[in-house]
Amino acid sequence: MAVTGLLLVGFLITHLSGNLLIFAGAETFNHYSDTLVSNPLIVVAELLLLLFFVSHLVNGILVTLKNRAARPEAYQKKEPAGHASRKSLASTTMIFSGLIVLAFVPLHIWTFKYGPHYDSLAHPGVRDLHRLVMETFQNPAWVIWYVAAMIVIGFHLWHGFASGFETLGLSYRKGVRLFGQILAVVIATGFTLIPVLIYMIGDKL
């Protein structure tokens, strides 16, 4: 679970870097996306991502069930443990944030990968994904859903990043924890800025 989680974090960083090219203009973004989908290894990469995602999800559910089986009687009241405890809202809601991500990912793929195929006017034969993204985020409902999902992903990473390193046998160092929290904020903020800025100033981009 730790290995697949950290690999998925690596994917999120790469994916965010590519998505931010939307602000570099239609030609740059469309060239990037076309280069990506034209790569013959893209199918292998997508299958690996699917494997990581499903493995992470299944293991997350199994861990949650084992934890509940170990303590069949639920706590009557939950409070921060204090002192050296790492218990937090993020850590206690991992399964719920994970399930929201599970709902988000297929919808995200369906909307952008399998959505309308506009042909680029500047480069016939190249998909105008830039136009699709711009049109999608003119819908306030989509913007709200996307922003909410990114906040949830940020919560998931807030605890998950450092927890993954600890599971792999690395001592729980404050620096790792802080780096993971900063990374969670950067990733969530980066993805959130895309729909918000497109909705607010899309006509100027």
Structure tokens at 6: 């950290």
Structure tokens at 39: 């790569």
Structure tokens at 70: 């170990």
Radius of gyration of the chain (CA): 19
**Residue 141: pLDDT above 80?**
yes
Q: Average pLDDT of the chain?
A: 87
Across 33-42, 73-82, 172-181, least confident range: 73-82
Quickly count: other Cβ atoms within 10 Å of residue 14's Cβ.
10
Across 34-43, 51-60, 64-73, least confident range: 64-73
| CA dist list (Å): 166 to 53, 86, 155 | 20, 12, 18
- Binned at pLDDT 50, 70 and 90, residue 68 comes out as confident
Specify burial of residue 133 (Cβ count, 10 A radius: 0-12, 13-18, 19+): buried
- Residue 73 backbone dihedrals phi, psi, to 5 degrees: -95, 115
Q: DSSP readout, 94-148? A: HHHHHHHHHHHHHHHHHHHTSS--PBPSSSTTSB-HHHHHHHHTTSHHHHHHHHH
**Residue 64: pLDDT above 90?**
no
What is the per-residue pLDDT across 148-177, written as a single tens digit (0 to 9) for each? 999 999 989 888 888 888 887 765 567 888
**Crossing angle, helix 94-112 and helix 42-70, to 10 degrees?**
160
| Integer Cα distance of 20 and 13 in angstroms | 11
What is the per-residue pLDDT across 5-25, written as a single tens digit (0 to 9) for each? 899 999 999 999 999 999 999
| Integer Cα distance of 126 and 77 in angstroms | 57
- Binned at pLDDT 50, 70 and 90, residue 73 comes out as low
Across 53-57, 88-92, 120-124, 200-204, least confident range: 88-92
